[in-house]
Amino acid sequence: MKILKLTAENFKKLSAVEITPEGNMIVISGKNGAGKSSVLDAIEAALCGGRTLPKQPIKTGEVRAKVEVDMGAYKVTRKFFGANSTLTVETTGETKTTVRKPQAFLDEVVGNLSFDPLAFLNKQPAEQRNTLMDFLGLNLEEFTDKIATLKAQRSDVRKNKERKLHEAESLAFTPNLPPQEVSSESLLAELKTIQDHNETCQTIGTKNALAHQRVQLLREDVCNGQKAIQAWEQKIKEFRTKISEEERCIERHPDVPMNNSTVVEAKLKTLSATNGAIRRNEQKKAAMNEADLCVVNYQELGDVIKVVENQKAKKLAEAVMPVKGLTILADGLGYNGLPLEQECESKRLKICVAIAMAMNPKLTVLRIDGNGLDKDSLVTIGKMVGGTEYQIWIEKVSDDNKIGFYIEDGNLMPPAPFV
């Protein structure tokens, strides 16, 4: 489907223009500011609507404007009045009918008229890549964001591993220590038992020493009493009774040897240093274990990143490219294994026009700003569309009204007479 006739009245800089194109290349020529762009904008505004509508579609000094596009089977009419516009799409057969949802119908047919292959050619590789991906409906942001998040997580894991290794290296390791800290309470309890025992021993020893002293005194008394035996017989009996009692007491509570507390006291003195070394050993082991876990986590995140990158690559591989050999690279486009920007200009021009043709498979109409095209490039484009249904509408600055449809002051001028 292509344009058979274009009629525009009071649209932008145009007053009254009617163009019946012939052939595949339709050149709209004229001086700067004559209204060339208004012709191509009229086609786009009529068919695309929406954001393609200019802020001021009506020519200055006029109150109404109209653009009609005859596409053979359908006739499109967009009228402008004030800030409003209306759209009508009618069939052109014997029985004319009006399309109920005209813009939705056109959206299915029109494709991407705003895609200028020359503008695409002059974009940076990254911009070309984004434009093509938008056309193909490829949204890789979810993969890019996911990969960025995973890489950030993996970076955090790597930093944590390095911190833990640094922490482990900063801690000295003391060999030949028990696996766990020794409790001071057990040693203190053992020391208390020894002290209580020794205190008891001291008490008994003191008592026994006093008893021995008393026995000695009593014996001395016996010796003295023997001199007055008669007077002291009764008293000697009493003394002997007391001696027996004291001796029995000694037998009941014999001397007990004292325990040595030196070893436990030495252990208590070194306990703090020993437990500190044990704690450092545990901290070092824990830091090394966490570092090992970081290594595993880092590898696992790397595997997940590979999976996401493979999913991304698969989605790119499954995309149907508009041109055979065209591929999407990380920072641009590729063609037959090489970056597109490394191809010669004529080859890149052909590829860009082919992309534009793929973007407009139903309404075979392309728009090109041809002011930067030389004759060879025009010939190249002409050969590409020759023998096809595609129309290329080219805007080109010219002072010669012999070139294409010549616009002057918003009007279509008749061709110059042949001399």
pLDDT by residue for the chain (419 residues), tens only, comes to 788 999 999 999 999 999 998 888 888 888 888 898 899 899 888 888 887 788 899 999 999 999 999 988 889 999 999 888 999 999 887 778 888 888 888 888 776 666 677 777 778 888 888 878 877 777 777 788 888 899 999 999 999 999 999 988 888 888 888 888 878 888 888 889 999 999 999 999 888 888 888 888 888 887 877 777 777 778 778 888 888 888 888 888 887 788 888 888 888 888 888 888 888 999 999 899 999 999 999 999 999 989 988 888 888 777 777 778 888 887 888 888 888 888 887 788 788 878 777 777 777 788 888 777 778 888 888 888 888 888 888 888 888 777 889 898 888 888 655 44
pLDDT of residue 111: 66
Q: What is the pLDDT of residue 417?
A: 54
Alpha helices (H) in 61-140, listed in sequence order? 102-110, 117-121, 125-136
Judge if pTM exceeds 0.75. Answer: no
Tokens 């109404």, residue? 64
Q: Which residues pair with 87 in a beta bridge?
A: 78
Closest CA to 65 of 17, 100, 102: 17
User: CB neighbours of 8 closer than 8 A, spacing ≥ 6?
Assistant: 14, 16, 17, 18, 38, 39, 42, 65, 66, 67, 68
Q: How far is CA 174 from CA 231, 252, 268, in A?
A: 81, 52, 18
Per-residue pLDDT at 82: 85
Q: What is the pLDDT of residue 18?
A: 93
**Token reading at 187:** 């040693």
**Ranges of each domain in the chain:** 5-115+360-412, 150-318
Residue 407, classed as helix, strand or coil, is strand
Query: What pLDDT is attached to residue 154?
Result: 92
Q: Considering only the top CATH level, what class is 5-115+360-412?
A: alpha beta
